Amino acid sequence: MAVENELVNLANLEYIPYIDRNGELPEVLQKKIGVYAIFNQEKILQFVGYSRDVYMSLKQHLVRQPQLCYWVKYHTIERPSRTILENIEKAWITENGSTPIGNGKDKEKWTQAIDVKALITPEEQAEYDNPVNDEMAKIKIIKNVARRVEADILQVLAQRGLQIQIRFNPKLKESGLLDLK
């Protein structure tokens, strides 16, 4: 590990598979404070972020953007310092030469809970808009949309070989949001 306030070049860090041969995320990052860069299959930078628990953040990003999370580079620090983390994050984005899509126009897709209402099918929307449905019926419809989207995400992750357990927060589903517990 480098000195705490020393900037680390992104290009000098090794690409780590997002999901390893055992179907797991990089466990060395559990409860680690640091900066991380996420790359797609072609090793094109998609997102740069920092976290007090890099492992949990990687798990969240994988659920939100499974088709874009294939490689990761990271740098950890011992003591939390938002200034150091932000400086490294900015330096990596600058080093990249352009703002990654996940730090630009698609930032919400990387950093916010999945809003399943944006993924509702025309049939589900018609059922939701049916005037005979009361508030409880509408909540049930939204929960079912959330369950469908959750199942789709879990299927994609299973196809990628992910073996770790993914649990979504059940309380958020009735408001149409998917986020990890």
Q: Is residue 139 part of a domain?
A: yes
Indicate if 127 and 90 belong to the same structural domain: no
Q: Do 140 and 128 sit in the same domain of this protein?
A: yes
In a domain, 5, yes or no: no
Please indicate, yes or no, if residue 81 is contained in any of the structural domains.
yes
Residue 92 and residue 155 in one domain = no
**Is 2 inside a domain boundary?**
no
Number of structural domains found in the chain = 2
Segment holding 115, helix H or strand E: strand 114-115
What's the pLDDT at 6? Answer: 67
CA distances (Å), origin 147, targets 167, 180, 181:
12, 13, 15
Q: What is the pLDDT along the chain (181 residues), one digit of tens a residue?
A: 444 556 799 999 999 999 999 999 999 999 999 999 999 999 999 999 999 999 999 999 999 999 999 999 999 999 989 999 999 999 999 999 999 999 999 999 999 999 999 999 999 999 999 888 899 999 999 999 999 999 999 999 999 999 999 999 999 998 999 999 8
Q: Given 111, 134, 150, which residue is the final one in a domain?
A: 111
Are 83 and 157 found together in one domain?
A: no
Query: Residue 58's domain is classified under what CATH number?
Result: 3.40.1440.10
Domain shared by 16 and 104, yes or no? yes
Radius of gyration of the chain (CA): 18
| CA nearest neighbour of 61 among 97, 2, 114 | 114
Question: Which amino acid belongs to residue 126?
Answer: A
Domain final residue, candidates 111, 145, 164: 111
Q: Measured between alpha carbons, how far is 61 from 6 in angstroms, rounded to an integer?
A: 27
3-state secondary structure 57-100: HHHHHHHHCHHHCCEEEEEEECCCCHHHHHHHHHHHHHHHCCCC
Q: Are both 76 and 135 inside the same structural domain?
A: no
Domain shared by 122 and 33, yes or no: no
Residues 26 and 107 in one domain: yes
Sign for the pseudo-dihedral over CA of 118, 119, 120, 123: positive
Task: State how far the Cα of 143 lies from the Cα of 120, in Å rounded to an integer.
Answer: 11
Provide the 8-state DSSP code for 145.
Answer: H
Residue 5, pLDDT score: 53
| Domain carrying residue 129 | 114-178
Looking at 87, 111, 135, the residue that finishes a domain is: 111
Q: Are residues 16 and 87 in the same domain?
A: yes
Residues 19 and 99 in one domain: yes
What is the pTM assigned to this prediction? 0.92
Residues 23 and 98 in one domain: yes
Q: What 3-state class would DSSP assign to 174?
A: coil
Strand partners, 75: 35
